[in-house]
Each structure stands twice: as structure tokens, then as C-alpha cells.
Structure 1
Amino acid sequence: MRALFVVLKPLCFLALLGYCPSATIRPKEGWQVYSSAQDADGRCICTVVAPEQNLCSRDAKSRQLRQLLEKIQNMSQSIEVLNLRTQRDFQYVMKMESQMKGLRSKFRQIESNRRTLLTKNFQELKGKMNELQPLIPVLEQYKTDATLISQFKEEIRNLSHVLTAIQEEIGAYDYEELQQRVLGLEGRLRNCMNKLTCGKLMKITGPITVKTSGTRFGAWMTDPQASPKNKKVWYMDSYTNNKIVREYKSVSDFVAGVESRTYNLPFHWAGTNHVVYNGSLYYNKYQSNIIVRYSFESGRVMTQRALESAGFHNVYPYTWGGFSDIDLMADELGLWAIYATNQNAGNIVISQLDPLTIQVLNSWNTEYSKRNAGESFMICGTLYITNSHLTGAKVYYSYSTKTSTYEYMDIPIHNQYFHMSMLDYNARDRALYGWNNGHQVLFNVTLFHVIKTDDES
């Protein structure tokens, strides 16, 4: 396999935006950032940005067309009201017309026989005139309504011309074809991103404080194997003497404190280094080296197995203690356990686990003391270890399970609240989840990506 560094070009509806690491990417509404990359010297390479699937349905022309249609509909309703009113007035005018004809004949009778004009005739004539008096404002209103109707008709005629022009312009594009092109390009982008999934850690930025809650020690997490629509958050306060797991439907519910469900585990946990993976919680059973797999769906323990030779109950914890001997984590390649054994002189052992049976699939012995590690996390099969849980911590050491080699590093991590008791990587979010002295925080990671082609060297 030949490794090639990525050089990607802009595509229709998809874009790769060059940026500097210090810059903040703010894609336009309806677009989202898929990934970013730097080279080994920290120089920016690219940020992958793509639109949401329904972006085409929200363009300016469609909005304008919709607004015009709504306006025409409103005007049509107004014309209908005016039409009903003028029809009513027209009926009234027809009634008055017959009375006017009768008045005309009465005047002729008076004209032909002036001498026989009596007071009775005057009174009758006066009554007829009073009956016709309301006709005057009705006729005036009728004229006004007729003018309004004429104005409305003219405006609708103008709008119709604009609408027709827009329809002709939109009709020049086959939106179904464009939508299929968008879907195809998004598929190609995701295939590209699948190749970009793994990379070497180059930088950690943040943190973003999501919430402040609980004690100094705890864990919070999402499921990296869940579907994009599944945003559930799980929350486990303290490092021992607790069996309650709180579930939230989303990060916003988590921030608001709106629980959707609680789980009462059959055993207390030890430490804060739990992980949710493919719908199950994996944790270290208190006062043992037993790993428990608990299914949220069934609400019961599916598997439990001892991690052979692993130290427990503060024999080989991280620098902060807290029964953090066994650290369970997940990355792009699967489920892992980080611990130490007497056989490896208290140095860290990396074991990949079968998610169903919790059996050890493979193990690697490192030369880094577990007691000297602040926290650790896996990305793409490489273990990254911080040198402290306090202020000034940095990623100091990494071990690649692919090459069975280690490397000393110097990647700062901002310990904003001075005491880190949990730090785990989530491959779906490409972020580090942290519990920092009672604050639930997120760190962004920058990876150096390499794409491998299918060509053989």
C-alpha cells in the first residue's frame, strides 16, 4: 500500500477550506464541518465542509417563490371579501332602483295635476326621499370598493409576471438531478472521510465547558457507535460508592438537567474510566479486576470477566488515585483496556477486548509507569498518555499498537480547572470528553491524516 498525503479540490456543493490552526471555522447556515487536518509541522492542510442534505430546498429563489405565492393567496382572499361586499351592495342598489322608479311616476303625477296637490302627497313624497337617503353613502362605498378591486387586480397581474419569470428560471434546473448529484457527492465525501478517520494527534484545543455539576470526580460520555440521531448522554458521579447511571436524551437535556432515565447497576464501580460502546456500559467492578458489560436496553449484566493479572484497588492508579487502575476506552478500532501488571513492573499494558465476550484479543506492554500517568486515551490504535492530572499537563508519551513502537511528545492540554479525573476520546465526535474538577468539558483534537490508495508500490 502506498501512503499519499491528501490534496483535495473544491466540488459542487462540497468544499475543502484551507485554514490556519488558530482560525475558527464558521460555516454558513446549513453547512457542517466534517474534519480538519494539519501536517507534522503544524501547518494547516484542509477543513472538510459539506452542506446538509436538504440545502437545495432552502435557496433564495424557492423562498421568494413561496413568499410571492403566499402574498397572492392573501390578496385573493381580500378580493373575495370585497366581492362579497359589493354583491351585497349591488342587491341593495337593485332594491333602491324600484323605489326610484316609483318616485319618478309620483313626480309625473304631481306635474300633471299641480292643482290637486295635497298635503298627503307631500308627506308620501318626503317618506320616499327618506328611504332613499341611505343609498348615497352606499353608492360612494361601492365606488371606493370598485377602485380597490381594480388596484388589487393590477398588483396581482404584476406579481404574476414576476412569478412566471421565477418559475421559468427555476425550471431551467432539474432539481431532482441536482439533488442526486448532491447525494452522490456527499457519499463520495463520506467515503473519503472514512479513509481520513485515523490519524496522528497533532494538537488539542479547548476546553469548552458544557456543564458544572457533581463532585470533583466522575465521568460523562456518549456512545461512539450510536447512530447520528442518537445523542444520548450518560453521567456517573464519583469514583466509588455509587451504582446510579443517569441518562439524558441529548446534550441540551444534560445541560438543563432533564433526565430521561436512571439505571441502578448491580455492582458499584471503581474509578471514573468507564465507556459506553454499542449500547452497553463497560466498567470496573469495585474491589476487583473484573470488567462488567451492562446492557442499557435489557437493563442487566450481559458479561463479566476478570482482566488477568491487572492490578486493582489503588495498586496501579493514575496520579490522582481514585481506584483508577483499569481504564476502559474505545476508538475507531474497537474496545480497549489500559492497566498495569506486576509482570510488566507496574508499567502500562494495552489490551484490545472483544466487545461481546470481554476476552483479550491482543496485548502490548509499554515502558511507561501507570502511576506516573495523569490520564490516557486511544485514537486510531495509538495510546496517548498525559504526564499529570494537574495544571501544566501535556500529552507526553504515545504508543502505537500498529507498529509496537513508542514516541515522546509535547502536546499541551489546558487543564482549566486544575484537576483532571477523566479524559476519553470519542471517535464519532472526534473530541475528548473530560471531567475537570466538577466541570464536564470537551476538547477538540487535530489529527494529521494520511489517505492510503489501492495502488501497490
Structure 2
Amino acid sequence: MSRSDIFILMIIIPLTFFQSVRGKNCVCDLKNSDPAFPEHKLTKVETTSRQCIERITSERITELDRLLLGLQQRIKQLEENVVVLEKEDDTNLYGAVSLRIIELEFAEIQDLLKKLNETIGNYHHLNAQAATQLEDMKDTMGELEEFDNMQMIKKDRENQRVKRGLEECKNKLKATLPPPTVLPGRCGLGQMVSVAGPRTSSLTAYSTSYSYGAWGRDVKPARGDENKYWLVVLSNSNVYGHFVRQYGTLSTLLLGIGPKDTYISGSNPTTNTIQGSNMVVYANALYYNCYNTYSVCQFNMTTRAVSTVALPSDTGYNNKFPFAHLGTTYSYTDMDFTTDESGVYVIYATTSNFGNVIITKVETSNPPVLGQTWTTSLHKKTATNTFMVCGVLYATRYLDKETEQIFYSYDTETKKERFDLKINIKKMKTNIEYLNYDPRDRLLYIYSDAYILTYELVFQ
């Protein structure tokens, strides 16, 4: 019940009229038969509520998640180093060095544990304080409800109950239909049944500076690079980027420790600049839409050499066929690079195919070569993102600020497409600017309004 509701109620409370005649004038005395409304109590509740909201924020909760994840990754790395040390047979040549590395990792773990204990202690105190304040607010609002003579609060609660019942009915009518079953001979995963998560959720070291970007792992890493992660932010107008940032582990990425930057060019936008947020890393090469062209760029992150291959000349680029929904378009997402168990694909649209999605396999030679192509009847601007799993293309759409939905699939083996999938993704932020599937861990890597997240694909 808002303050305006309460003030209205004060106007319609019972009044007693006393009429008397003084000379030729008729005078009425009004007396309130109810006690005065305790406005100071409502003001106190509003103040306490505002203070709670200021103290308990998503950033604080994210801080705890980051510390826990960092600790988990550090312990895992320590276990791996201990195993390596146990297997070493070098007559103690490197034993001292290995022990020193382990000693440093112990120190880092102790530091993380200290920070974690301090954070948890602060949360316990905050939780106890908030619980007491909520009880006081609940009791006060119960007292104030006695002034609701028109029973507006009771009627509002009944309306909310009816609305919840209607939503439950709608959800039952929108029961999720099963997506296509992947044949055992191809990947053996079976039917995708849901998307769980997020499993990871964090701001990058850039905080909220850049709302467009991409991140993930090398789908086909070189030996020794299996734990590396990469990050690209579009630092110029949410459209262009010119370097790749790499981290040794997930925990170092989340904590922003020890990045290695590899520059494609000295500035942007210029030749070979990254254009749009839909890119992937495969076999130590970044695949992306070249600046101001309808070409695929392959950037070797070791040699820094760039190779290109052109798509059909009527391919949409420079924001002609971007991903979109009724509320917005995702700038310069004309080309979407995806990975699955078999390699790299590029998803795009052409005028000759009426703006509908086309799938082309990218052969990852140097220079890259365009492989087999499939045409679909999915109009690209009706989707917000795409990804591939075991040769099946999936497309997502925007439902509301909290939900993204996988609604479409195209099987490159059978050439069958469906528009009736209803697999929901629970979002942390409003928009998903980047989404890709990693077959190594079967996770979706998402960049959403400056946040990086992972979701688990659940198969039957």
C-alpha cells in the first residue's frame, strides 16, 4: 500500500457531522471518529526499506560468488601441480622450483580464504540486521493495515492471487515441446531438455564500461592451453574491437589478474578490426566479421597474421541483417560465428534468401575456406542469437527482461526445421549480446550487458 493510497483512505474515513444555526448562517462541525493516521510510522518503514535496498545489492552477492569460484579454481590448480610434482623424476633438479610454486599457491589460497571469511562474516551480520528490520516493518505494516477501511489491500491481494493462477494456466498451455533428438552416431548427447544456470556470473575487470563483448575458451586448444580463457570487449561505440585479452584460468579472468593482450591493429576502426560481438576462438585463431566487409576474418593469435575469405556478395553486413527483437536491434550482429563438435560455422543472411538465415561451415585451414552451406526459412531479424550443437542450429528470441527462449532448430543432417521449441533461459540482465556453445564442457558462454555468464545444456 503506497502513501498516496493511505492519504486517500484518510479522506474517506468515517466523519460525524454536528449542525447548528448561528443567526442566519448554517455551521457544520466535522469530527473524525477514527484515530489519526500515524504517518510517522509509514515514513519510518519507507526509510528502513530504502536503507536495506542500498545495503543489499547484487554486486555484493556477486563478490561472494567470485571468491568461491576463485577458491575452487585455485584448489583445482594446486591439486594438478601436486600430481605433477609427484610424477617428476628429475633427481630433484626442478623439485625446489615446483615446491616454491605450490607454496605460493598455498599463500594465494589462504588469502582467498581470509577474504571469503571476512565477506561471509559481513553477510551474516547484514542478514541478522535485515531480518530484524523486516520483522519490525512487517509488524508496523500490520498496524497500518487497520486503517484500510475500504479493504483495498485485501482486494489487491486477491487480484494478485488470481493473476498467479492465470500465469500458471498460461505456463501449462505453453508446455515445452521436445527439441530434435540428435542421433547417437553423431554426438550421442540425445535430446536437449533444458538450460540450467547461470553456473558462472560476474562482471569483467572492465566493470560496466562495455556492454557489448564476447568470451569463452578455445574449442580446440593447443596442448597446455586447455585452461585458458579469452575475452573481447567492443571498446569503440559498442561496435568495434581491436585486441584479444587472454587469461590463464577462469579464476584469474573473474578476478582480473595477469591478462595478456594480443592486438590485431593499433587502433579501431581500421582494416581487420573486429566488427560486432559474435566471434569464436578455434585452434588459437579468432574468427570474426572483418571491418566494413562481408568477409570472414581469421586472426592467428600467435603470429598475429590475418587471413580472410569472402561470403556471397549479397550477404548482409554493416547492420543490414542484425539480430533483433521488437524493443531493439543488436548492432552489427549480421554475422554470428558458432562452434560445435565438428568445428566452426558462420550464420548470416542474404538478400537472395530474403533475409533468412544461412549456415555455412568454415574450414579452418590457413587461409580459411567456405564449406557446405544450408539455407533456412528463419528470418534473421526475428532471432536474438544462434548456436550449434552436434550439427543442429538453435535460435533464441527475447520474451521479456527475465527470459530468453530457444524457439527454433534446424538439423543440418535431416534438413528439418522447427519453430515450436520452448526452452527458456533465465537471464541475469536484459539483453544477451553474445552466446556460444562449447562442446568441451557443454556450456553456453554468454555476454550480457557487461556480465559474463555460463549456462549448462541439459540432455536426456
TM-score, normalization by structure 2: 0.54
- Unpaired segments of 5 or more residues in structure 2? 1-71, 73-82, 87-183, 266-271
- The aligned residue for residue 452 of structure 2 is 440
Contact 1:231–1:251 under 8 Å retained in 2: yes
Contact 1:389–1:421 under 8 Å retained in 2: no
- The aligned residue for residue 204 of structure 1 is 195
Q: Distance in 2 between matches of 1:283 and 1:298?
A: 17
Contact 2:399–2:405 under 8 Å retained in 1: no
Residues 71-113 of structure 1 show CA distances to partners (whole Å, capped at 9, x for unaligned) of xxxxxxxxxxxxxxxxxxxxxxxxxxxxxxxxxxxxxxxxxxx
Which residue among 406, 414, 422 is the counterpart of 2:434? 422
- The aligned residue for residue 377 of structure 1 is 387
Is 1:224 matched up with 2:219?
A: yes
Q: Distance in 1 between matches of 2:432 and 2:399?
A: 5
- Partner of 1:282, secondary structure, is strand
Residues 418-452 of structure 1 show CA distances to partners (whole Å, capped at 9, x for unaligned) of 1110010001111000011111000000123xxxx
- The aligned residue for residue 13 of structure 1 is none
Is 1:307 matched up with 2:325?
A: no
Structure 1 residues 389 and 262, CA gap change in structure 2 (3 angstroms): farther
Q: Distance in 1 between matches of 2:348 and 2:262?
A: 27
Q: Distance in 2 between matches of 1:194 and 1:249?
A: 35
Which residue identity lines up with residue 306 of structure 1 in the other structure?
A
Which residue identity lines up with residue 268 of structure 1 in the other structure?
T
1:260 CA displacement: 3.6
Contact 1:198–1:379 under 8 Å retained in 2: no
- Partner of 1:412, secondary structure, is strand
Q: Distance in 2 between matches of 1:218 and 1:433?
A: 11
- The aligned residue for residue 358 of structure 1 is 368
1:291 CA displacement: 1.0
Contact 1:199–1:380 under 8 Å retained in 2: no
Q: Distance in 1 between matches of 2:398 and 2:348?
A: 17
Q: Distance in 1 between matches of 2:187 and 2:295?
A: 35
- Partner of 1:255, secondary structure, is helix
Q: Which one has more relative contact order, counting CA pairs under 8 Å at least 6 apart? A: 1
Which residue among 220, 231, 235 is the counterpart of 1:235? 231
- Partner of 2:414, secondary structure, is coil
Q: Distance in 1 between matches of 2:396 and 2:323?
A: 10
Structure 1 residues 245 and 394, CA gap change in structure 2 (3 angstroms): same
- Partner of 1:254, secondary structure, is helix
Count of residue pairs the alignment pairs up = 266
Alpha carbon RMSD of aligned pairs, Å?
3.1
Residues 147-188 of structure 1 show CA distances to partners (whole Å, capped at 9, x for unaligned) of xxxxxxxxxxxxxxxxxxxxxxxxxxxxxxxxxxxxxxxxxx
Contact 2:214–2:232 under 8 Å retained in 1: yes
- Unpaired segments of 5 or more residues in structure 1? 1-28, 30-53, 58-192, 449-457
1:334 CA displacement: 1.4
For residues 167-316 of structure 1, the aligned pairs below 5 Å read 198-212=189-203, 213=207, 214-226=209-221, 227=223, 230-238=226-234, 239-266=238-265, 267-301=272-306, 303-308=307-312, 309-316=314-321
For residues 320-359 of structure 1, the aligned pairs below 5 Å read 320-356=329-365, 357-359=367-369
Q: Percent identity?
A: 27
- Partner of 1:425, secondary structure, is strand
Contact 2:316–2:348 under 8 Å retained in 1: yes
Residues 235-271 of structure 1 show CA distances to partners (whole Å, capped at 9, x for unaligned) of 1112423202111111111011123411111322111
- Partner of 1:417, secondary structure, is coil
Q: Distance in 2 between matches of 1:211 and 1:228?
A: 26
1:199 CA displacement: 3.6
- The aligned residue for residue 185 of structure 1 is none
Which residue identity lines up with residue 202 of structure 2 in the other structure?
K
Contact 1:389–1:420 under 8 Å retained in 2: no
Q: Distance in 2 between matches of 1:317 and 1:389?
A: 18
Bigger radius of gyration: 1
For residues 112-123 of structure 1, the aligned pairs below 5 Å read none
Contact 2:186–2:390 under 8 Å retained in 1: no
Q: Distance in 2 between matches of 1:233 and 1:389?
A: 30
1:289 CA displacement: 1.1
Which residue identity lines up with residue 396 of structure 1 in the other structure?
F
- Partner of 2:398, secondary structure, is coil
1:416 CA displacement: 1.7
Q: Distance in 2 between matches of 1:231 and 1:390?
A: 34
- Partner of 1:413, secondary structure, is strand
Residues 51-82 of structure 1 show CA distances to partners (whole Å, capped at 9, x for unaligned) of xxx8xx9xxxxxxxxxxxxxxxxxxxxxxxxx
Residues 369-409 of structure 1 show CA distances to partners (whole Å, capped at 9, x for unaligned) of 10010111000000000122853320000000010011221
Q: Distance in 1 between matches of 2:317 and 2:287?
A: 16
Q: Distance in 2 between matches of 1:194 and 1:252?
A: 36
Q: Distance in 1 between matches of 2:351 and 2:254?
A: 42
- Partner of 2:246, secondary structure, is strand
Contact 2:240–2:276 under 8 Å retained in 1: no
- Partner of 2:433, secondary structure, is strand
Q: Distance in 1 between matches of 2:380 and 2:185?
A: 33
Structure 1 residues 317 and 389, CA gap change in structure 2 (3 angstroms): farther
1:198 CA displacement: 4.1
Contact 2:404–2:426 under 8 Å retained in 1: yes
TM-score, normalization by structure 1: 0.54
Structure 1 residues 242 and 390, CA gap change in structure 2 (3 angstroms): farther
